[in-house]
Amino acid sequence: MSRLLTGLAAVVLALTAAGCAARSAGSYVDRGIDFTQYRTYDWGPADALPAGDPRLATHAYFQDYVQGAIERRLAVRGFGRPASGAPDLLIHYHASITQRIAVDPFDREFGACYDENCRVRVTDYEAGLLVLDVVDARTGRVVWRGWARHGVADILNNPDRMARRINEAVTGMLQTLPAAAQVTAGTSSLQTGGKE
Amino acid sequence: MTRHRRVLGLAAAAIAALTLAGCATMHVRSYVGRDADFGRYRTYGWGVEAALPTGDPRLDSNPFFQERLRTAVDTQLAARAFERIDAAEADLLLHYHVSVTQRIDVNLIDQKYGYCEDCRPEVYDAGTLTLDLVDTRTGRLVWRGWAERSIDGMLEEQDWMEQQIDEAVARILARLPRTL
């Protein structure tokens, strides 16, 4: 009985680990830049980074999810689209999927083994990486880059879960983007925008 | 006999421990053109930015990485009395390349000698920074230096990344055959 429980615990932990191991995020910022000079943004042309995975490029909703999530988070950070004229910032993103290797760390610690030799399992998984660049429209310099990485095994065929994952990733990465110049009008227009 | 074996085992374990530490520490090496006369070189210029993908989209065309690297290299070379001028006129042309690959360390030796408590294979991302110096007159590569280490967690932290760039560049260029 207790062996079964330990086994179960190991499986649960292994599943959790598969999610955690693949999840990471970070950002870089141009420290010499005063972000309070920026208020508006627009989508710029994609850059020359290697092409994304065809499963994402041809996905019916992926790009909508990503763009929607980014636009919502940017609004929360105080950035909006320009009413007229040129935007302060141009943004573009790049998504890719790479195969990665993971070593299952839990079997041994919990004494729950797949075979009598208690060998470590080395597994491979696919990790999705989303990179977002924020470019000063005037100078053409990238002033901020954020990224998030997560396993994609369970989301490629599940649009709802994909939308949720992308939201989490975008929210997490844009947390570190310095906020835009404070404009009270921007906040209120966001709130009314939600009701319409 | 047993004693002999134990010593051997310990030695192997020590080597293994060093190798293991290997994935966390930085390895720095270089090649030098045997017929290159470094006393002759006074000036250098930056070559065209390499368009090769790094193997990690987080680092591809990443200005935060690139600018920190260039500053670190310029500082180190200035300290060795190299003068940076326009690439078309310089004695040396400088290129760099960064690549990232995922590696596995299976800790085989440790397991065999029972030296590790936690003999698990480890997976890590290895990052390599390569600096090349080309003689502009002959077009030949006269020196190549590189640093390699695990970059796990490094790209998550801009401060740490910058500090590692500085350290890698300083240690690579310390191997330049130049005494002043």
In three-state form (DSSP H/G/I as H, E/B as E, the rest C), the secondary structure along B10-76 is: HHHHHHHHHHHHCCCCCEEEEEECCCCCHHHCCEEEECCCCCCCCCCCCCCCCHHHHHHHHHHHHHH
Residue B22 to residue B26: CA distance in whole angstroms: 7
pLDDT band at B30 (very low <50, low <70, confident <90, very high): very high
Question: For B10-27, what is the mean pLDDT?
Answer: 59
**Structure confidence at residue A192 (pLDDT):** 35
B149 DSSP 8-state letter: E
User: Is the torsion defined by CA of A140, A95, A24, B26 positive or negative?
Assistant: negative
Nearest to A61 by CA among A142, A192, A153, A166: A166
Lowest mean pLDDT among A76-85, A180-189, B6-15: A180-189
Task: Enter the tokens of residue A123.
Answer: 């597994």
**Structure confidence at residue A110 (pLDDT):** 58
How far does the CA of residue B166 sit from the closest CA of chain A (Å)?
A: 17
Residue A77 to residue A91: CA distance in whole angstroms: 14
How far does the CA of residue B74 sit from the closest CA of chain A (Å)?
A: 19
Are A50 and B122 in contact (CB < 8 Å)?
no
Question: For A45-70, what is the mean pLDDT?
Answer: 82
Q: Which of A50, A103, A105 sits opposite B53 (nearest CB)?
A: A50
Task: Enter the tokens of residue A165.
Answer: 């994952």
At residue A52, does pLDDT exceed 80?
no
Only one residue has tokens 């999610």, namely: A19
**Structure confidence at residue A57 (pLDDT):** 82
Q: Is ipTM over 0.90?
A: no
Q: Which residues contact B18 (CB under 8 A, 6 or more apart)?
A: none
Lowest mean pLDDT among A65-74, B2-11, B55-64: B2-11
Helix/strand/coil for A72:
helix
| Per-residue model confidence as pLDDT tens digits over B102-123 | 988 776 665 566 666 666 677 8
Q: Are strands B141-150 and B122-135 parallel, antiparallel or unpaired?
A: antiparallel
How distant is the alpha carbon of residue A169 from its chain centre? 3
| Per-residue model confidence as pLDDT tens digits over B138-162 | 999 999 999 999 998 889 899 999 9
Mean pLDDT, chain B, rounded, equals 84
**Structure confidence at residue A14 (pLDDT):** 47
- Say yes or no: A25 contacts chain B, CB-CB below 8 A: yes
At residue B18, does pLDDT exceed 60?
no
Q: Which of A25, A29, A103 sits opposite B123 (nearest CB)?
A: A103
Residues of A in contact with B122 (CB under 8 A): 103
At residue B45, does pLDDT exceed 90?
yes
